[in-house]
């Protein structure tokens, strides 16, 4: 499959391979040209990779890392990094080192320098408990990146516990197993858990050509959370 899509128009920054097109991907309404044939990364994965590479010392400094619901695009690469003490967790994923509920981690307080938890919280009914647990297990001075699907045109998150039908959830929240659609108040929710939060638009200083070449979500805010 990878050879079939070989070309020079689009590049996956995670492995540096280029293709004439990416693959379509999506549940209800598939998006064209978004899934990398080599790493299986989506727009958000490539955006996060570039942020970690360009704006952090994630790839160079010793860190104890917790990766919640580890993504295929990252898992093996992070596991091989000599600078990382890398641990994965999830309730169901076969990639998880520790099977655990994000609302009740089996880890000690102040355990991790860096936590990745991406596209998880929108699945969790009690997301406040999950955020509190992420804060609890992060070391002081630590960093977390907690990406979620977000309507950046909406000030407030929309959720309705009465919506339980998978088809209705897909229609309202964007996916059959999502329980809310976050708005810009997502950052305030994280702040209530104790985090210092910054929404970073990595694409703001990128050319349109590079945004298109990497197939990035222009203007998407990366939620970078720190524990003081």
Give the number of C-alpha atoms closer than 13 A to the C-alpha of residue 13, restricted to the C-beta side. 20
Mind listing the domains of the chain with CATH numbers?
6-226 (3.40.50.150)
Task: Please tell me the distance from the alpha carbon of residue 186 to that of residue 221, in angstroms, as a whole number.
Answer: 11
Q: What is the pLDDT of residue 1?
A: 57
Long-range contacts of 1-4 (CB under 8 A, 24+ apart): 1/37, 2/37, 2/38, 4/37
CB of 158 within 8 A of CB of 183?
yes
Of 149, 120, 126, the C-alpha closest to 43 is 149
Q: What is the pLDDT of residue 5?
A: 77
CB of 89 within 8 A of CB of 99?
yes
Q: What is the pLDDT of residue 30?
A: 87
Q: What is the pLDDT of residue 3?
A: 62
Of 126, 138, 135, 107, the C-alpha closest to 191 is 135
**Helix 43-55 / helix 72-80 crossing angle, nearest 10 deg:** 30
Task: Please tell me the distance from the alpha carbon of residue 7 to that of residue 21, in angstroms, as a whole number.
Answer: 8
Task: Please tell me the distance from the alpha carbon of residue 200 to that of residue 51, in angstroms, as a whole number.
Answer: 9
In tens digits, the chain (228 residues) has pLDDT values of 566 677 899 999 999 999 999 999 987 778 999 999 999 999 999 999 999 999 999 999 999 999 999 999 999 999 999 999 999 999 999 999 999 999 999 999 999 999 999 999 999 999 999 999 999 999 999 999 999 999 999 999 999 999 999 999 999 999 999 999 999 999 999 999 999 999 999 999 999 999 999 999 999 999 999 999
Q: What is the pLDDT of residue 92?
A: 92
Both tokens of 92, joined, read: 């169901």
Q: Is 35 left (phi over 0), alpha (psi -120 to 50) or beta?
A: beta
Enter the DSSP assignment of 222.
Answer: E
Both tokens of 15, joined, read: 């492995």
For 66, residues 6+ apart whose C-beta sits below 8 A from its C-beta are: 87, 88, 89, 107, 111, 112, 114, 115, 116, 137
The model carries a pTM of 0.94
């Amino acid at each position: 499959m990878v050879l079939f899509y070989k070309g020079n128009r689009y590049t996956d920054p995670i492995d540096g391979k280029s293709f004439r097109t990416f693959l379509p991907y999506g549940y209800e309404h598939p998006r064209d040209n978004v899934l990398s044939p080599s790493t299986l990364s989506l727009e958000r994965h490539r955006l996060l990779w570039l942020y970690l590479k360009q704006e952090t010392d994630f790839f160079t400094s010793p860190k104890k890392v917790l990766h919640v619901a580890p993504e295929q695009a990252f898992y093996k690469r992070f596991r091989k990094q000599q600078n990382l003490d890398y641990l994965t967790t999830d309730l169901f994923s076969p990639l998880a080192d520790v099977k655990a509920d994000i609302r009740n981690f089996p880890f000690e307080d102040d355990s991790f320098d860096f936590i990745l938890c991406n596209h998880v919280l929108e699945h969790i009914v009690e997301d406040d408990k999950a955020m509190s647990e992420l804060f609890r297990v992060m070391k002081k001075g630590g960093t977390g990146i907690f990406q979620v699907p977000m309507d950046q045109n909406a000030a407030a998150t929309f959720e309705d516990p009465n919506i339980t039908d998978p088809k209705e959830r897909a229609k309202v929240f964007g996916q059959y197993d999502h329980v809310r659609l976050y708005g810009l108040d997502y950052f305030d929710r994280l702040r209530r858990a104790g985090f210092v939060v910054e929404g970073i638009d990595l694409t703001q200083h990128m050319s349109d050509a590079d945004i298109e070449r990497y197939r990035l979500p222009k203007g998407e805010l990366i939620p970078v959370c720190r524990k003081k």
